[in-house]
């Protein structure tokens, strides 16, 4: 199993670069944000719970999020060759849970692609996206909350993975193709593929 985590603040381009990674490495894509938005759109029980957190710029509680992820991993045969984790983990607890889930499969997080983008650029991108996405969390007030949550709960993972030796810092500004070239080069150097 070859597993990549794509990591970065809201609006850093995780979804966009995931598309490139899936086709290049033949990995299965798990975007927790997309899973939650799909549940909201279908009006499921999970969707109703998720909506209250997402619209308020908060994270879904760890227990719930971890069980959702475990369920996907258990029930998706296509995930057995490897996964690109997009939007998970977002807390140290989630990272610990992911480590265990992968260890049970004799696997690990092979690389963490960290898209680094400064805050003004993030806000610009998210406001632009909000004009088309219709997402309840892409408005200035909620964007500011999400960035705060990112700094307090998610950013510490950068050090966590740095210590594990898997964190690959990538400058997340420039063309989509240019950024993908940097990602490929960093993965090649780290993992030899």
Annotated binding site for ATP: 11-16, 129, 174
Residues 6+ apart with CB under 8 A from 170: 113, 114, 115, 116, 179, 182, 183, 186
Q: Distance (Å, rounded) from C-alpha 139 to C-alpha 28?
A: 30
Contacts with ligand ATP in 151-190 (CB under 6 A)?
none
Contact by Cβ (8 Å): 2, 110: yes
Is 33 one of the binding residues for ligand ATP (CB under 6 A)? yes
Number of residues in the chain: 193
Closest to 23 (Cα-Cα) out of 170, 189, 173, 180: 180
Binding residues: 11-16, 32, 37, 58-60, 87-90, 94, 129, 135, 146, 174
Candidate residues 94, 95, 113, 168; the one interacting with ligand ATP per rule CB under 6 A? 94
Candidate residues 27, 54, 157, 168; the one interacting with ligand ATP per rule CB under 6 A? 54
Is 60 one of the binding residues for ligand ATP (CB under 6 A)? yes
Q: Residue numbers of the site for ligand ATP (CB under 6 A)?
A: 8, 10-15, 32-33, 36, 53-54, 58-60, 65, 87-88, 90, 94, 137, 146
């Amino acid at each position: 199993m070859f597993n990549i985590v794509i990591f970065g603040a809201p609006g850093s381009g995780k979804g966009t670069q995931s598309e490139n990674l899936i086709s290049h490495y033949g990995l299965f894509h798990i975007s927790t944000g997309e899973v939650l938005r799909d549940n909201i759109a279908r009006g499921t029980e999970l969707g109703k719970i998720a909506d209250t957190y997402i619209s308020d710029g908060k994270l879904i509680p760890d227990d719930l999020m971890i069980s959702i992820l475990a369920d996907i991993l258990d029930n998706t045969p296509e995930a057995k060759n490897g996964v690109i984790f997009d939007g998970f983990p977002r807390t140290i607890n989630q990272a610990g849970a992911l480590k265990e889930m992968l260890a049970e499969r004799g696997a690990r997080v092979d690389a963490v692609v960290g898209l680094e983008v400064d805050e003004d650029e993030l806000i610009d991108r998210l406001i632009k996206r909000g004009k088309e996405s219709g997402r309840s969390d892409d408005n200035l007030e909620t964007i500011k909350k999400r960035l705060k949550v990112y700094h307090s709960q998610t950013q510490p993972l950068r050090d966590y993975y740095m210590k594990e030796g898997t964190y690959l810092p990538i400058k997340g500004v420039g063309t989509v193709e240019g950024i993908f070239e940097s990602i490929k080069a960093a993965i090649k150097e780290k993992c030899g593929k």
